[in-house]
């Protein structure tokens, strides 16, 4: 019997280079079978799983491996095809299925891939469920390999598109131009269709996936081409998705790039003014800029601070009954949208909320504190406060920043990197202090 290492779930499922563990066929077959075993505990009725992907070249064989495991556990598999993570999460919640699997590595390059598993209510699996999946994947005896039975369910995506018409029944974008950059990923077909359904003139940027060009100089991480398109076509808004569409960056009519913090500031103020912000609070992670806290504080809105990750934002919003939350990176969650991070929904809601007002005017009132983030590749991830040189340098920098800035030092949940972030009153201080700490991290732990 072939043995495997326990697949390690990160903050957003399994992720890695396609073909290498845990993204190799044997591990994925076992993960599929383990998920099937967990689902079968829920009674004798036929179990169903939906699967979608963001267009990477490795998606077909990853789907086949997962389906082999699921079918061995007598689970029916429906293939939605090219889609976004939020579209699949919505379908999981709204259709009679027991789970869903998104094959995606989000903003990572094309040679990577991953799997995100959703429970029947559309939420990401709990840590304890992922731990049990990992243990089962190692313990299960692989079944005889058979060609899996999958059913084409791409027609379900129409239900997701209908959701927009239901959510914004009065929105008419006739005569307005919107640019959409789908990062050559999962939203490449969906996003333009949704915008055109509202009557918009749509300019497509990076909406031609070929399996290898996802996130390649485009999308939420690289909005430069979108900025140029907005200016060239006189668009009222540019929407930049990441590869799987769960985050969005936005470009106003002047070409200004607006991130998740600015989106949260805009909606936080407007929802509070409308009496639609329970507890006068939003949820945001420790990575959010101090400028967000200041802008909301001046409007009478507080911030529930969470650890990094949209799952942590989701949990805080559920626990405190909040209407809005998100991350600087572009994950924005609305209670009115089932707490699903969805860059396209955020963009359409911006268009509906701001109306004819220029986007640049709507975003005014947010002043960003200078911020510097450095990702340091590391060979291992020991507790950072247990590495004396790193702990001492971090303490020194925090003393220097005092009340006028902050330091955030943490490991990436999905990559072998340490993130060093500094906010300070000046750009020079940010650059100097961040570089100094990053150098110590690289010296002590660098790959």
Residue 157 to residue 179: CA distance in whole angstroms: 22
CA distances 161 to 88, 155, 183, 196, Å, are 12, 11, 19, 11
pLDDT of residue 1: 47
Digit-coded pLDDT (tens) for 274-298 = 999 999 999 999 889 988 998 999 9
CA pair distance 195, 192, nearest whole angstrom: 5
Q: Could you report the per-residue pLDDT of 249-263, keeping only the tens digit for each?
A: 999 999 999 999 999
Lowest mean per-residue pLDDT among 59-68, 105-114, 134-143, 239-248: 134-143
Q: What is the pLDDT, as a whole number, of residue 133? A: 94
> Catalytic one among 3, 58, 104, 106?
106
Task: Specify whether 123 is catalytic.
Answer: no
- 3-state DSSP helix/strand/coil percent for the chain, to nearest 5? 40, 20, 40
Task: Locate 160 and state its tokens.
Answer: 């997701």
| 8 A C-beta contact, residue 186 and residue 157 | no
State pLDDT tens for residues 140-167. 876 777 788 899 999 999 999 999 999 9
């Amino acid at each position: 019997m072939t043995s495997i290492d326990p697949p390690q779930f990160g903050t957003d499922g399994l992720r890695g280079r396609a073909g290498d563990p845990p993204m190799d066929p044997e591990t994925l077959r076992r993960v599929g079978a383990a998920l099937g075993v967990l689902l079968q505990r829920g009674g004798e009725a036929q179990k169903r799983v939906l699967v979608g992907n963001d267009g990477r070249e490795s998606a077909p064989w990853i789907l086949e491996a997962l389906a082999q495991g699921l079918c061995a556990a007598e689970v029916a598999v429906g293939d939605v095809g090219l889609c976004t993570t939020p579209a699949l999460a919505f379908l999981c919640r709204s259709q009679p299925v027991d789970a869903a699997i998104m094959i995606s590595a989000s903003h990572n390059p094309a040679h990577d891939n991953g799997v995100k598993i959703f429970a029947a209510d559309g939420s990401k699996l709990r840590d304890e469920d992922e731990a049990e999946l990992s243990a089962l994947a190692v313990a299960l005896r692989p079944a005889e390999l058979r060609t899996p039975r999958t059913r084409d369910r791409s027609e379900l995506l129409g239900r997701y598109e209908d959701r927009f018409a239901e959510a914004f029944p009065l929105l008419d974008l006739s005569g307005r131009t919107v640019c959409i950059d789908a990062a050559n990923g999962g939203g490449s077909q969906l996003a333009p269709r949704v915008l055109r359904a509202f009557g918009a003139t749509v300019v497509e940027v990076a909406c031609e996936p070929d399996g290898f060009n996802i996130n390649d100089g485009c999308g939420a991480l690289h909005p430069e081409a979108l900025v140029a398109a907005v200016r060239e076509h006189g668009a009222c808004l540019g929407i930049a998705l990441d590869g799987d569409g769960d985050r969005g960056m936005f470009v106003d009519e002047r070409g200004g790039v607006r991130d998740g913090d600015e989106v949260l500031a805009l909606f936080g103020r407007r929802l509070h003014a409308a009496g639609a912000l329970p507890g006068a609070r939003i949820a945001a992670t420790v990575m959010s800029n101090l400028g967000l806290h200041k802008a909301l504080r001046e409007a009478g809105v507080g911030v529930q601070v969470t650890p990094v990750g949209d799952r942590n934002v989701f949990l805080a919003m559920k626990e405190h009954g909040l209407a809005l939350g998100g991350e600087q990176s572009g994950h924005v969650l609305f209670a009115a949208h089932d707490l699903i991070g969805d860059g396209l929904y955020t963009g359409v809601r911006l268009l509906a909320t701001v109306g004819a007002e220029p986007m640049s005017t709507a975003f005014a009132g947010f002043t960003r504190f200078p911020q510097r983030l450095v990702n340091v590749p590391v060979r291992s991830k020991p507790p950072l406060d247990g590495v004396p040189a790193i702990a001492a340098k971090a303490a020194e920098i925090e003393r220097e920043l005092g009340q006028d800035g902050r330091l955030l030092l943490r490991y990436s949940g999905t990559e072998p990197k340490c993130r060093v972030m500094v906010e300070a009153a000046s750009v020079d201080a940010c650059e100097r202090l961040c570089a100094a700490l990053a150098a110590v991290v690289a010296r002590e732990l660098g790959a």
